[in-house]
Structure 1
Amino acid sequence: MPGEIWQPLTRELARWRQASRSADFWLRDDDAIEPTAALDRLLATTVAHAVPVALAVIPAPTGTPLAERLARENHVTVAVHGWSHENHAPQGEKKHELGRHRPRDIVLAELSQGRARLQRLHAGRFAPMLVPPWNRIDADLLPHLAGIGFSALSVFGVPRPGPMRMLNSTVDIMDWRGNRGGRDHAALISEIVAQLELAFRGEGAPVGLLSHHLVHDEVAWTFLDRLFEVTARNDACRWRSVGELLA
């Protein structure tokens, strides 16, 4: 079992339990395209702990092999990860697939095609939720998403009022600006506890873990395993599916 470093989280969950309350967690994993050993590891650890996972799949390059691999996984929901995860921003700007760098009609047509493709491939586990690549989307696109079949949007950070339902990831386990591996466990635990404290006061959203199975190192994998050990069968918290949270 996890040791002393996890005590801040276990203490916070004990507070929730003493108040007869339960905190919501959810997991989003990005950039799925095809079956891989890393995907197998993600699916194995989540099914072992009964943790639902929202898999953000890139529509353009994916196909039937991934659909066949996921067909036997009842705990997976598939969301739409843009169209091709291609950067259209000029050099010097932040990466952006769904920005103002192309005509709006072209961007919306790609998203509509991506939604239809994933719904066809993953009919039994598909959720009409858009996950923009790099968690960025031009605000002018948002009012048009419902018209092409989307009912929810998932980026990173605190959800803000907008034209459609938002279900955001709030804790990224990867150190993108540093070693590009898993982040320090103590820092991640501190972030989760801070979000639980806000939620306890009625000011927060579900704790949304963000992972990227294709680039995990052992630091990232170990964090997920130990987080699931602490939380998955703790009656002070619940790992929820996208369908449950959006309902």
Structure 2
Amino acid sequence: MTALTAVPDTDRRPGAFAELTRANARELIRDPRSFFFVLIFPLVFMAMFLFMGTLNPSDGGGGFDPMRAGIPAVLMMAFMSLAFFGTATPLISLRQKGTLRMLGTTPLRRTTFILAQAPVRFAIAIGQLAALSAAALATGFLEPSAIGRLLVTCALGLAMLFSTGYLVAARMRNAELANGVLALAMPVLLMLSGVFLPLEILPGTVRAVAEHLPTTYFADALRQDLVGVAGGPIVTAWLVMAGVAVAAAAAAVALFSWTDGEKR
């Protein structure tokens, strides 16, 4: 029996949303795959960049600085892991197990169920942001005056990624297939966003596509705010992320179903 089977049979009585939120937190922590990708995997990458920094410390010149490149890359990867492996695939798995079908027999609304996923995941994201912001402050990359702008960037980026994760969960029906697709898509998106490789080295057509990906706008804004790298207009990046978040969220709510064969 999963943690979500113990949620209340209605979302209209006081405390029902809080109970559903706690059940989702337990479900996330108990899933070993989600726990690894959401909490352990980003730490492994951060350790890798720290190790690279000890081998190739920055001399203050224009050379490659592993920490300056690594901090925004790890934060973006952590957020994507949380949205995809920590949100989309657990929801797909719950549908496969029949848990969502059980919830669908109650007065629980789709919007309540989807929103109850957010608190624990945003709490984890805040912890990840705090840890990497502290690292950026300690290394002198993050200016205290840029913290407010960084919070706006991260809030919009998280909204975009979570909405996309919900949309994936709304349409895909097989958790193993979803894991495979997302495991392939995430590194590709990270590479094309420019957090691991500069976009200038990409072939012309690939670069033209990569420059207009929503994740590229998020990566560019993160690098500007978190480690002080020059980039494009920050307001443009915010508008793109907000637009994608609204569109994906609306589609996720409209397409979400409790079972594979639910009629609309």
TM over 0.5: no
Q: Which has the larger radius of gyration?
A: 2
TM-score, L = length of structure 1 = 0.30
Counting helix residues as a fraction of each chain, which structure ranks higher?
Answer: 2
